[in-house]
Structure 1
Amino acid sequence: MLEGAPPARVLRRALTGWAFNFSGRLPEPSEEIAAALAWIERKSVPISELEDSDTMRAGLTALTLQLNGKPAAANTIRRKRMVLNNCLRYAIERRQLAANPLQFIDWAPPQTDDEIDWRYVPNPQQARELIAAAQTVGARGRHLAAFFACMYYAGMRPAEVMDLRKRDCTLPESGWGLLLLAGSSPRAGSIWTDDGKSHEERGLKRRARKTTRDVPIPPVLVALLRAHLATYGVGTGGRLFRASEGGVVLTKDYAAVWKAVRTAALTEEQAGTPLADVPYALRHAGVSLWLVSGVDPTEVARRAGHSVAVLYRFTPRCSTGSATRPTT
């Protein structure tokens, strides 16, 4: 840390809460934050100096590190480099730079291996046991059991499950049902949204706002959703799932439940590995099950809500039939 710099936690709050926030609803910063913003302004490098290769290379080196000084993950470095490039393009648009200085630097982000590590994706039996275990870890677990089941049996992203509404569900008394996915509710934080809510209501990921996708769901999920509706009804806007105090389910809420679910469903040895370490692993498990069950990759990609190219990039062995899911 530079001499005279505010504490790291204060600098981070000043940057994320004020310097990079243009919502127009910001409160007046405290004296501590105002001092940090003033320090940042004094110490910031003028845009013109970014044309110096040593300055730009120092910036690239910085984005390869975590806050603790340790090397960042390859995907993190690539994402930060992309953000830096977007900032420089904006500077060109605003006539602050004549050209993008990155093009003159002989530096490339590290290569990444996007393929899923199947050792840590739950197999069908484990996925079912994890979902069943949610019913045993308290009231929140019982409420979120069907939430986790949607990720596995319908291949949904968490933000899509958060936005699932009763009107989107066709749930017959027997047989297969259908979910019509129309949006997502990712958490952005109230200071970043236009209306002050902690979640934004968006379209499906990388799709036009009114785009929908239908996903057939097996009888087991139909039954879970019918039972959930009979027990809990619906929340605001007809949402199937809601936070413990109302509103949209919080990421920290279902993450805490998932931690208890892993402890209940996995052996001590398994729990000590990255096996099903996050709920998103259920989506990976569901997509892989479709593939090894013989569902056409084009249909799998459509159900999952991404392109066939992305499907092959993340699941090459599974999608080509050269690997099967483990059963133990």
Structure 2
Amino acid sequence: MNTSYDVKLWAITRNESSKTPSYVVRWKVGGRPRSKTLRTKALAENLLSDLRQAAKRGEPFDMETGLPLSMLQAKSARTVFDFVRAYIEMKWPHAAAKTRDSISDALATALPALVKERPGRPDAESLRTALRKYALLPQSKRSVAPPDATRAIRWLEGASLDLTDLAETRTVRLALDAIALRLDGKAASANTIRRKRAVLHALFEYAVELEELSANPLHRIKWKPPKTTETVDPRVAVNARQAQELLTAVTYVGRRGRGRRLMALFACMYYAALRPGEAVALRKGDCHLPASGWGRLLIDVSRPEVNTQWTDTGDAHEERGLKHRGRDDVRPVPIPPTLVKILRQHIAEFGVGSDGRIFRSERGGVVASTAYTEVWQEARKLAFTPAQVASPLARRPYDLRHAAVSLWLNAGVSAPDVAERAGHSVDVLLRVYAKCLDGQQEIANGRIADALGA
């Protein structure tokens, strides 16, 4: 096979010679021009993105077909199982750790349904373990599977449906029915079903890009996933007094000042609406903490926690850019004097790490979610009544962020300003926090009454 690293890509163009709308992707490999015409602009953009990502990570391109080797592997796949593994090889290098986990989770649910009837089928738990821990990882990340997992993978290789079978509606329905259920046979949550269907949709779109399928089969199926709830439950949001009582209670939790080390972390989630991953990654250099008045945080890094098998570094807190933003984007967040004081006191008492991180575990590592969640649950018991402890009120540390955004909106801060501080788009902000806006109806009624009286 002749390959080349000399790749040049052009912008997508409209196919003017066709009466029906279609779009052309053009590129060169080793000086040879290549092009592909696709029915929709979205498909063309996906193909161009895949080609660009492959070139960016230094992948060789086949001179004969003009495709990067990862796409060539997918195009040569004859079974659904082989195609899925090739898809993961292609997606892995430029996907975030949590995205990799999500893709694996969805496909480990769907693949066992896309098989022929063959004797010796392993149980559901064995199939899922074999897929999640071994089969649905790139070749370079796979460890040697134990005998049980090896048998399960071999059974899947032999029983997997042909890729062409995905063109049949009844076959795709098997996958949709599978993602609608948990491993114990009970109905999965609406959000889980929606997330897994999105992964299936992306997989089928990739098959269309490579002309293995003529169209995405999901588009032909009248199958509606359960409605998801995007809005925040207003019952989880604490008021200002309750937030202060919780932060005080945190300082009384644990030995050797364990809770006291974490109080400022929780304060950042409440007073600055930071996501946990953003708070954990906060560095002293990101903070402007004047002796008096308002300060400012410059948020440009997040360290979301995920299983180490999905990260490139083997670290459970792989450093990433901000959610839904470019890697170099920075989000400025003004912070009130209360948080400025808390952060100054925390730094004076506990110092900072060698890399400037403000929050560290007792051994100097990244603060694990299990550690701060345990402290949080104990603090709830100290600060709340038994009835409140049993309620959804601030059940998770993340609910402090919800409380902060709700407080800002109800204080009359404009939606664009709140969205900028919290790292949301305005439409997502208003949709997610629609039920947390207290007293807005009375204000609107008063304004309408005043207008009618005038």
Amino acid aligned to 2:310: W
Cross-structure match for 1:178? 296
What is the 5 A alignment of 1:39-78? 39-78=155-194
Amino acid aligned to 1:202: R
Q: Distance in 1 between matches of 2:139 and 2:362?
A: 28
Q: 1:159·1:185 contact (CA, 8 Å) conserved in 2?
A: yes
Q: Distance in 2 between matches of 1:25 and 1:5?
A: 26
Q: Distance in 2 between matches of 1:93 and 1:239?
A: 44
Q: Aligned pair in 2 of structure 1 residues 321, 214: CA closer, same or farther (>3 Å)? A: farther
Amino acid aligned to 2:169: S
Cα distance, 1:93 vs structure 2 = 2.7
Cross-structure match for 2:26? none
Q: Distance in 1 between matches of 2:351 and 2:240?
A: 29
Q: 2:308·2:316 contact (CA, 8 Å) conserved in 1?
A: yes
Q: Distance in 1 between matches of 2:199 and 2:302?
A: 23
Q: 1:297·1:319 contact (CA, 8 Å) conserved in 2?
A: no
Tell me, yes or no, if structure 1 residue 222 matches structure 2 residue 340: yes
Amino acid aligned to 1:123: N
Instruction: Say which structure is richer in strand.
Output: 2
Cα distance, 1:44 vs structure 2 = 3.0
Q: Aligned pair in 2 of structure 1 residues 265, 47: CA closer, same or farther (>3 Å)? A: farther
Cross-structure match for 1:237? 355
Deviates more, 1:280-289 or 1:118-127: 118-127
Cα distance, 1:152 vs structure 2 = 0.4
1:96 to 191, 212, 215: 212
Cross-structure match for 2:243? 127
Tell me, yes or no, if structure 1 residue 156 matches structure 2 residue 277: no
Q: Aligned pair in 2 of structure 1 residues 320, 311: CA closer, same or farther (>3 Å)? A: farther
TM-score, scaled to structure 2? 0.67
Aligned partner of residue 364 in structure 2, secondary structure = coil
Q: 1:162·1:185 contact (CA, 8 Å) conserved in 2?
A: yes
Computing the radius of gyration from Cα coordinates, the structure with the larger value is: 2
1:314 to 432, 437, 441: 432
Amino acid aligned to 2:422: A
Q: Which segments of 5 or more consecutive residues in structure 1 lack a partner in the other structure?
A: none
Q: 1:311·1:319 contact (CA, 8 Å) conserved in 2?
A: no
Cα distance, 1:211 vs structure 2 = 0.6
Q: Distance in 1 between matches of 2:150 and 2:431?
A: 46
Amino acid aligned to 1:120: V
What is the 5 A alignment of 1:272-283? 272-283=390-401
Aligned partner of residue 208 in structure 2, secondary structure = helix
Tell me, yes or no, if structure 1 residue 17 matches structure 2 residue 17: no
Q: 2:135·2:142 contact (CA, 8 Å) conserved in 1?
A: no
Identical residues among aligned pairs (%): 48
Q: Distance in 1 between matches of 2:239 and 2:319?
A: 32
Q: Distance in 1 between matches of 2:236 and 2:421?
A: 23
Q: 1:137·1:257 contact (CA, 8 Å) conserved in 2?
A: yes
Aligned partner of residue 333 in structure 2, secondary structure = strand
Cross-structure match for 1:200? 318
Q: 1:164·1:240 contact (CA, 8 Å) conserved in 2?
A: yes
Query: How many pairs does the alignment contain?
Result: 324
Aligned partner of residue 172 in structure 2, secondary structure = helix
Tell me, yes or no, if structure 1 residue 246 matches structure 2 residue 364: yes
Q: 2:134·2:143 contact (CA, 8 Å) conserved in 1?
A: no
Cα distance, 1:288 vs structure 2 = 0.9
Cross-structure match for 1:259? 377
Displaced runs of 4 or more, over 6 A: none
Q: Distance in 1 between matches of 2:269 and 2:289?
A: 17
Aligned partner of residue 332 in structure 2, secondary structure = strand
Tell me, yes or no, if structure 1 residue 113 matches structure 2 residue 229: yes
Cα distance, 1:316 vs structure 2 = 2.1
Cα distance, 1:131 vs structure 2 = 1.5
2:403 to 264, 285, 299: 285
Amino acid aligned to 1:283: R
Cross-structure match for 2:77? none
Q: 1:188·1:198 contact (CA, 8 Å) conserved in 2?
A: yes
Q: Distance in 1 between matches of 2:348 and 2:227?
A: 49
Cross-structure match for 2:152? 36
Q: Aligned pair in 2 of structure 1 residues 105, 120: CA closer, same or farther (>3 Å)? A: same
